[in-house]
Amino acid sequence: MADSNIKKVVINKIDLPPIDANNFSYNIRYRLISEDKNRTSHWSRIHNIDATDQAPGTFFDYSYFKEVVSTGTGTTTAIRLNWIVPTTYAGSTFDIFVKRNAGAYSYYATSFTNNYVILRESTETSITILVQMPTYPKVQTASAKLFETVAITVP
């Protein structure tokens, strides 16, 4: 019977790719492989799975600590940011965006833990940090936002 070799695959939310920032969906495709695994294969078209129900319902609690650190070029101020991940949140990675003074947010890094250190780069007097669910491309998206800090003054 042809249906006897059909395999069911379950992918956990944590293993899904980053959310597409343009339409807030997961872009997924799969590959069909022949039984001998080398004669034929075929990639499916890209399927867009709506991710609006993945948007966080509440913002995360966070704390920060300012400290003076030594770098290769001298000393500077660092902001050590920590946040509490609710048990209902299925993700394990976080995109971090930084706004210096009154500028615009720019992508800073992706964190695989619930903490990160941001260094003062030059003469900025305030730094605001936004943490969101991972997206592709790496752009600041209001629907993916997990939390945003107050403007932190740096000496």
Tens digit of each residue's pLDDT, the chain (155 residues): 456 667 788 888 778 888 888 888 888 888 888 777 777 788 999 988 888 777 677 789 999 999 999 988 889 999 999 999 988 887 889 999 999 998 999 999 999 999 999 999 888 999 999 999 999 999 998 888 999 999 999 98
Burial of 127 (0-12, 13-18, 19+ CB in 10 A): buried
Res 63: pLDDT? 96
Closest listed residue to residue 67, CA positions, set 82, 48, 84: 82
Fold of 62-153: Immunoglobulin-like (2.60.40)
User: What integer pLDDT is reported at residue 115 of this predicted model?
Assistant: 96
pLDDT score of 130: 96
* pLDDT at residue 72 in the model: 87
Q: Three-state SS across 59-108? A: CCCEEEEEEEEEECCEEEEEEEEEECCCCCCCCCCEEEEEEECCCCCEEE
Q: Provide the β-strand partners of residue 42.
A: 32
CB neighbour class for 131 (10 Å; exposed up to 12, middle 13-18, buried from 19): buried
Other Cβ atoms less than 10 A from the Cβ of 120: the count is 19
Task: Report domain extents, the chain.
Answer: 9-54, 62-153
Per-residue pLDDT at 128: 96
Looking at residue 2, its pLDDT comes to 57
pLDDT for 3: 64
Q: What is the pLDDT of residue 15?
A: 82
Our measurement of the distance from residue 102's CA atom to the centroid of its chain's CA atoms, rounded to an integer in Å, reads 23
